[in-house]
């Protein structure tokens, strides 16, 4: 389960996860989140992508990390 709240993208910007939605045709889980900078736009990303690790300088790190 994905906790609601603030997350930091591995590139440094912060976002707030608002919830998890389902694609109307594929039923894939999508994370709905809002940028905490600029125009505070809403975004969606496949949940599996939101939670996956990415390779940075040969090291695997979380794409989004919760902010405590």
Per-residue pLDDT reduced to its tens digit, 9-32: 999 999 999 999 999 999 999 999
Q: What is the pLDDT of residue 9?
A: 98
Cα–Cα distance for residue pair 38/26, rounded to 1 Å: 32
User: Cα–Cα distance between 65 and 3 in angstroms, integer?
Assistant: 11
Burial 27-45 (b: 16+ CB within 10 A, else e): eeebbebeeeeeeeeeeee
pLDDT tier for residue 2 given thresholds of 50, 70 and 90: very high
**Token pair 């707030």 is at which residue?**
16
CATH, residue 19 = 2.30.30.320
Q: Could you say which DSSP state residue 41 is in?
A: -
The total domain count for the chain is 1
Domain limits at 59?
A: 5-66
């Amino acid at each position: 389960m994905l906790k609601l709240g603030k997350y930091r993208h591995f590139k440094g910007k912060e976002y707030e996860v608002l919830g998890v939605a389902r694609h109307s045709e594929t039923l894939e889980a999508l994370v709905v989140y809002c940028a905490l900078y600029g125009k505070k736009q809403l975004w969606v990303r496949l949940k599996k992508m939101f939670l996956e690790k990415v390779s940075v300088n040969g090291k695997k790190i979380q794409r989004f990390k919760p902010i405590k």
